[in-house]
Amino acid sequence: MWQSLLNNIIEGNFKALARAISLVENEVEGYEQFLSELPNSHISIVGITGPPGAGKSTLVDALIGYWVNQGKRIAVLCIDPSSPFNLGALLGDRIRMTEWYTHPNVFIRSLATRGSLGGLHPHIIEITELVQAAPFDCIIVETVGVGQSEIEIVGLADTTVVVVVPEAGDEVQTMKAGLMEIADLFVVNKSDRPDSDIFVRNLRSMLSQGSHELFETPVLKTIASNKQGISELAVAIALHQQHIISSEKKVWLLTERVYQLIQQKKMKGIEKEAIRKNIENQIHLPGFNLFNFANKYNDAS
């Protein structure tokens, strides 16, 4: 079954890819061996993140249109908040992307965060590697937009695009501790709104104070709903990806992904709710010690 599935994915069969993602999500027996047989791929991953309401889905929709018009095949993974009842994706496939559901060159899949604090799916690394086995030109990962805690995307995407809106002007100072550090590109969307030029200037000024040595973080203006600024954004993404091919970031990205996979494996079977119940039962016992308690889990692994 697994080998046949992989062959179909490599040939570009979307149904096979969708099925394989579901099997990996649900950790069906044999999935780890299946992943270990995936071919090495260099398909670029573009992460789109930013605060809620910034227009990320509209921007992704516009990028899909731009790249499809160039004859490219695009995969989109939309990370949605989890339903509190069944851990499924709450928003489902984004309404704004309905135009692309049946397009032969576009694959869209919604994934639930399932409580992951970093804003991504717990198997996002495995799933992106799986999607890279298919014949796509680019993979877009649009995240749930949980703000400063959304740090996992920087260890996943070759290029991280942070989307903000002019109204975020008062929040720029607080962003410096979070989103400012993870952005390879900044997009000020809805830039037809008042004070957008002032916001862009302030953002560029802040970035110049701590700019990257080798690659200055661009700030681009878009009006995604009107497709304005999309071609410039696509060019900026391509330029950044040419840069990282010869930089140390690629090695760092792979290191980060391997570290997360090892961490995930070590933590398998350890549930926070079970820890909470154990603490609840033991906290009033004489001699309770936080480090001894934690060491029991370390020894077990």
Asked if 243 and 215 count as a contact pair (C-beta separation under 8 A), the reply is: yes
CA distances from 209 to 88, 206, 213, 216, 219 (A): 42, 5, 11, 11, 14
Distances (CA, A) of 282 to 64, 172, 203, 256, 293: 54, 44, 50, 35, 9
118 contacts: CB under 8 Å, gap ≥ 6: 149, 150, 151, 152, 153
The reported pLDDT for the residue numbered 5 is 94
Q: pLDDT tens-digit profile of 45-57? A: 999 988 878 889 8
Kindly report, residue by residue over 189-210, the tens digit of the pLDDT. Answer: 999 988 889 888 888 888 776 5
What confidence category does residue 175 fall into, taking pLDDT thresholds of 50, 70 and 90?
A: low
**pLDDT higher than 80, residue 94:** no
pLDDT band at 148 (very low <50, low <70, confident <90, very high): very low
Whether the per-residue pLDDT at 84 is higher than 50: the answer is no
Stretch 204-223: mean pLDDT: 77
Per the confidence metrics, is the pTM higher than 0.85? no
Residue-range domain boundaries for the chain: 40-263, 269-300
Average pLDDT over residues 216-238: 94
Q: Where are the alpha helices (DSSP H) in 47-161?
A: 56-69, 124-131
- Residue 140: what are its φ and ψ, rounded to 5°? -105, 130
Quote the CA–CA distance of 9 and 294 in Å, as a whole number.
42
pLDDT, residue 33, reads 92
Per-residue pLDDT of 107-142, as tens digits, reads 999 887 654 444 466 788 889 999 999 999 999 998
3-state secondary structure 4-45: HHHHHHHCCCHHHHHHHHHHHHCCCCCHHHHHHCCCCCCCEE
Residue 179 confidence (pLDDT) above 80: no
pLDDT for the residue numbered 82: 47
pLDDT above 70 coverage of the chain, percent: 78
pLDDT at residue 285 is higher than 50: yes
Buried b (16+ CB within 10 A) or exposed e, 256-279: ebeebeeeeeeeeeeeeeeeeeee
pLDDT at 93: 40
Which residues lie below 8 Å from residue 20, measured CB to CB, with a gap of 6+?
5, 6, 9, 34, 130
Class of domain 40-263: alpha beta
Average pLDDT, the chain: 82
